[in-house]
Amino acid sequence: MVNLGDRPCCSTCGAYLRRTRTDATQCDPCRRIAPALSLDPALWDEPALSAALACLDFGPVFLRVRAETSCSQRRLGELFDLDQSTLSKIELGKRPLTDAATVIRVANELGIPAGKLGFRYGVTVGTTGQEGGGVDRRDAMEQVAALSVGAGLPLDRLIALFPSTEPTGTRHLGAADVEAIEQATAAFTHQDFAEGSGRVRDTAIAQLYATLPLRGAQVSDELRPRLMIATAWLAMQAGWMSFDVKHHDAARRLWLIGLGLARDSEHPLGSDLTVYLIYDMALQAVHLGFPDEALRLVHFGYGAAAGTNVSPATTSCLANIQARAHAARSDAAGCDRALGQAVDYFTAIDPTRCAPWVAFHDETSLSAYQGAAHYGLALASRDPRAAGRAVPLLQAGVEGFGPGYARPRALYLPDLAGAHALAGDIDTAVALGHQAIDAVTSVHSPRVYDRLQVLHTILEPLHASPGVAELRDRLSTTAT
Residue range 417-434, pLDDT digits in tens:
999 999 999 999 999 999
pLDDT at residue 310 greater than cutoff 70: yes
Helix axes 363-381, 406-423, angle to 10 degrees: 40
Domain that holds residue 331: 175-236+266-478
Q: Is residue 275 part of a domain?
A: yes
Q: Is residue 36 part of a domain?
A: no
**Averaged over 243-253, what is the pLDDT?**
92
- Total-model pTM: 0.71
The answer to whether the beta carbons of residues 215 and 228 sit under 8 Å apart is yes
Name beta bridge partners: 16: 9
Give the CA dihedral 205, 207, 213, 215, nearest 10 degrees.
Answer: -110
Q: What is the pLDDT of residue 203?
A: 87
The answer to whether the beta carbons of residues 414 and 433 sit under 8 Å apart is yes
Say how many domains are in the chain. 1
Q: Is residue 362 part of a domain?
A: yes
Q: Is residue 104 part of a domain?
A: no
Q: Is residue 340 part of a domain?
A: yes
Q: Is residue 411 part of a domain?
A: yes
CA distance 475 to 456: 6
Q: Is residue 298 part of a domain?
A: yes
Residue range 62-79, pLDDT digits in tens:
999 999 988 889 888 888
Q: What is the pLDDT of residue 126?
A: 36
Q: Is residue 100 part of a domain?
A: no
CA distance 390 to 370: 8
Residue 414: pLDDT band by 50, 70, 90 thresholds?
very high
Name beta bridge partners: 14: none
Side-chain half-sphere CA neighbours of 403 within 13 A: 0
The answer to whether the beta carbons of residues 319 and 292 sit under 8 Å apart is no
The answer to whether the beta carbons of residues 8 and 2 sit under 8 Å apart is yes
- Residue 53 C-alpha from the chain's centroid: 24
The answer to whether the beta carbons of residues 215 and 140 sit under 8 Å apart is no
The answer to whether the beta carbons of residues 308 and 276 sit under 8 Å apart is no
pLDDT at residue 13 greater than cutoff 60: no
Query: For a pLDDT cut of 70, what percent of the chain falls above it?
Result: 79
CA distance 2 to 12: 9
CA distance 355 to 357: 6
The answer to whether the beta carbons of residues 205 and 127 sit under 8 Å apart is yes
What is the domain-level CATH number for residue 466? Answer: 1.25.40.10
Poorest-confidence range of 43-57, 158-172, 343-357, 405-419? Answer: 158-172
Poorest-confidence range of 137-151, 255-269, 421-435? Answer: 137-151
CA distance 283 to 251: 12
pLDDT at residue 295 greater than cutoff 50: yes
Cα Rg, the chain, nearest whole Å: 25
The answer to whether the beta carbons of residues 355 and 315 sit under 8 Å apart is no
